[in-house]
Amino acid sequence: MRLEISKEELKRRRERVFERMANKGFDALCLFDPQQIFYLTNFSFIATERPMCLILAGGKAWFFVPELEGDHVELYAYDVIVRKYPEYPSIRHPMLYLKDLLEELGLAEKRIGCDGDGAPAVYGYRGPKLSELLPRAKIEPARDLVEEMMRIKSDEEIFLIKESVRWGNLAHRLLQEYTRPGLFENEISLRASLKATMAMVKAYGEKDRSFTGSAEAVFVGFRGQIGKYSAYPHSLTRNAVIRKGDVLITGTGPAIGGYRSELERTMIVGEPTKEQEKYFKLMLELQEAAFQAIRPGVPCKEVDAAVRKVYEERGIMEYWRHHTGHGLGIGIHEAPFLDIGDETVLEPGMVLSVEPGIFIPGFAGFRHSDTVLVTEKGMEILTYYPRDLESLVIL
């Protein structure tokens, strides 16, 4: 079973990038973003204070990396010429070595597209911009050049996302099975995550590199969204104890070969109250409105508008907190966004989350998230964990 993008597809991606560069009149493209670099190389890395840059020019790819990543890159990255620098900050700043490379490639006075004017300021990094290093070059924003390609998933990408869905489903089943009043959220999450992870490891067998990017291959949990804290969409784990009557919002999205799905469910511990049942059903109605609106040729903004209309008609707009959904793939959040401000037209091959929620301060939050694929005729819901209230009550 292939758990990574094939070299043939990577080659096609590169060829298309060079075509798009030519159409825009770029002599080179410089990428610092780990997701875009992964998309074109199959090499995954942690962005630290040490800048890394993929340079595409003249039909070839140069990968500018710190010494500590050199051997790693040469082992896994697809068809790149590796150029190493000693360390950051060192005696000579890494970006000066990058300047040397770009000048060596004859780009000092050329037109260069980039996803950012220099390395990102993470982990304490400080350094000059590309435009400062090459004052005679024409440095232009070009983040969309690759990002627009990433929006439409290939068959290989969809296969990996569906594998993510499969393991996320198992993880959710275990999480629900292990959830009981009196237990800490941490012990439930860790138990379910470990069980799902070991099932995955045994199913796939030993690989020459991680297919998930981490030892905890399948993480599933509540992330603090328990009881009244479920009303905070991006809550953080707080060692909560599960109690009868709690509303729980779960979440998982394992990365398989670098690609993710998203699955969230609202569960209720004990017999639901009338009020809990009311808002659970309204949440399903919001999500169904999105499902009905998603089809090729429809702008993202119209999907979000259809969902917001239900909020308004049901008198619950005060409990709205965020847009309907977002793109999925390499990133946990990718463009496009199911938002009234996003005019992107949906196309077959786009993979999105659908997750409108109801968040009532001091009471609870209600949100399912499902992963959907836009198809030629409409859309397909890839996640298949039960959505109905009866199936999500923990007694």
Distance, CA of 70 to CA of 339 (rounded, Å) = 41
pLDDT digits (tens, 9 = 90+) for 306-352: 999 999 999 999 999 999 999 999 989 999 999 999 999 999 999 99
pLDDT in tens, 217-269: 899 999 999 999 999 999 999 899 999 999 999 999 999 999 999 999 999 99
Question: pLDDT tens across 64-97, in order?
Answer: 999 999 999 999 999 999 999 999 999 999 999 9
User: What does pTM read for this prediction?
Assistant: 0.96
Cβ-based neighbour number of residue 142 at 10 Å: 21
Q: What structural domains and CATH numbers belong to the chain? A: 7-149 (3.40.350.10), 155-394 (3.90.230.10)
The answer to whether 376 and 296 are in contact (CB under 8 A) is: yes
Alpha helices in the chain (DSSP H): 7-24, 34-41, 67-76, 94-104, 130-133, 143-150, 155-178, 185-204, 274-293, 300-313
Instruction: Express each pLDDT in 22-64 by its tens digit.
Output: 999 999 999 999 999 999 999 998 889 999 999 999 999 999 9
In this predicted structure, what is the pLDDT of residue 172? 98
